[in-house]
A and B are shown apart, each in its own frame.
Chain A
Amino acid sequence: RKEVEQDPGPFNVPEGATVAFNCTYSNSASQSFFWYRQDCRKEPKLLMSVYSSGNEDGRFTAQLNRASQYISLLIRDSKLSDSATYLCVVNFDGGSQGNLIFGKGTKLSVKP
């Protein structure tokens, strides 16, 4: 069974905090991984792709541990605008067909 598991949260953090989300996936053959962000009552938007061991984009760092089938997302210096639900996404078919499996998401609330 293809599954992606995330801590649902919510994570309530003050501005400027560092927060990390974890995600585990069930299929060891998975090749590509993504973090999407979904604001309340909006569509998901791609935040980061993770094709190798990790990726960094400004305040956001994603890391992949294939041996443990584990992906993380680290957000440094949190902003109010980071408040959203973060979706861990896995492509179980090796990345060729876009057949994505989504986690339920982790909700982040950044407070002033």
Chain B
Amino acid sequence: ETGVTQTPRHLVMGMTNKKSLKCEQHLGHNAMYWYKQSAKKPLELMFVYNFKEQTENNSVPSRFSPECPNSSHLFLHLHTLQPEDSALYLCASSQGRGSGRAGEQFFGPGTRLTVL
């Protein structure tokens, strides 16, 4: 396994479903991130974890719930989503806070989410 992996790659869900996105990094990093990429909009940072601790929640609705059990794994739990939540969800990792290299991030391939 190399780099940052994400599963599933594609997900279609109804507004009443509960699903989870998974991210795993094999780079020995200590920081992990969730981003949302919608058409015609810039990449938006959602959550930041440093050494398993959440350090940033960028005003994300509570229907998105992150979980970081260890420095290598990150989840995004989804429930009662809206159609406007349809987007590409990208996970990234980097060296941790204080390293001076936190901006040099490695991205996974993303999960293309469609909410019906």
Contact = CB atoms under 8 A, between A and B. Distances in A.
Interface of A: 4, 32, 34, 42-46, 49, 87, 89, 91, 95-105
Which label, helix, strand, loop or mixed, suits the secondary structure of the A interface?
strand
Interface residues of B, number: 26
A43 to B, nearest CB: 4
A45 B107 contact: yes
A66 B109 CA distance: 33
Contacts of A45: 107
Most buried by B among A34, A98, A99: A98
Interface stretch (B14-22, B41-49, B59-67, B72-80): B41-49
Nearest to A90: B103
B43 A102 contact: yes
B81 interface: no
Contacts of B44: 102
Nearest to A34: B103
Interface string B83-106: 000000010001001101011111
B109 A98 contact: no
